[in-house]
C-alpha cells in the first residue's frame, strides 16, 4: 500500500481597507475595465466558472486561472497560476466586508508550494503594490462620489 505524501504549502494573507462601498470594490475585482486600472490587463470580466488571464504590457500571460467560487459581492475564490511556480496551482480567496468607512478586503493566497520560498518575497511585494493601487483607486472613487 502506498503511503500518502503530504505536501507542505504556505499561505499569505493581506488585508486592506478601501474607502468605497462593497459593491464598488466588487466591480474593481471583477470588471475588465476596472481590473486594468489597478492589477494587470485582463481579457474579459471575471464571472462564476470563468477562466482568466492577466497580461503583461507586451500581451503575454503573467497569471492565469479559473474562478472556482462566486458569491457576489462578498466572496470570490480563484485558482492562480504563474510560470515561476512550475505548474503548481495556488488559490486566492477574496473576502469583502462592509465597514463604516467602506470595505475591508482580505486576500488569502494559499497552496503556495513550500519549495517556492524564493517566490514569496516577489509575491508579497506584488500583492502590496497591487492592493495599494486598489486602495488608492477606491479612495479616488469615493472622493469623486462625494463631490457629485
Please tell me the CATH superfamily of domain 11-147, with its number: START domain (3.30.530.20)
Domain assignments of the chain as residue spans, ordered by start: 11-147
Q: Tell me the C-alpha distance between 120 and 102, whole Å.
A: 29
4-33 pLDDT tens trace: 656 788 899 999 999 999 999 999 999 999
**Could you report the per-residue pLDDT of 78-102, keeping only the tens digit for each?**
999 988 888 889 999 999 999 999 9
Beta-carbon-side half-sphere exposure of residue 106 (alpha carbons within 13 Å): 11
Q: pTM of the entire structure?
A: 0.88
Amino acid at each position: 500500500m502506498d503511503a500518502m505524501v503530504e505536501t507542505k504549502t504556505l499561505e499569505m494573507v493581506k488585508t486592506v481597507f478601501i474607502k468605497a462601498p462593497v459593491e464598488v470594490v466588487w466591480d474593481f475585482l471583477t470588471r475588465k475595465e476596472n481590473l486594468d486600472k489597478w492589477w494587470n490587463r485582463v481579457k474579459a470580466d471575471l464571472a462564476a466558472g470563468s477562466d482568466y488571464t492577466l497580461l503583461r504590457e507586451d500581451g503575454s500571460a503573467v497569471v492565469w486561472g479559473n474562478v472556482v467560487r462566486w458569491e457576489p459581492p462578498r466572496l470570490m475564490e480563484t485558482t492562480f497560476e504563474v510560470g515561476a511556480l512550475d505548474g503548481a496551482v495556488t488559490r486566492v480567496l477574496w473576502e469583502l466586508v462592509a465597514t463604516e468607512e467602506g470595505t475591508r478586503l482580505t486576500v488569502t493566497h494559499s497552496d503556495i508550494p513550500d519549495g517556492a520560498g524564493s517566490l514569496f518575497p516577489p509575491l508579497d511585494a506584488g500583492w502590496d503594490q497591487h492592493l495599494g493601487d486598489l486602495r488608492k483607486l477606491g479612495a479616488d472613487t469615493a472622493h469623486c462620489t462625494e463631490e457629485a
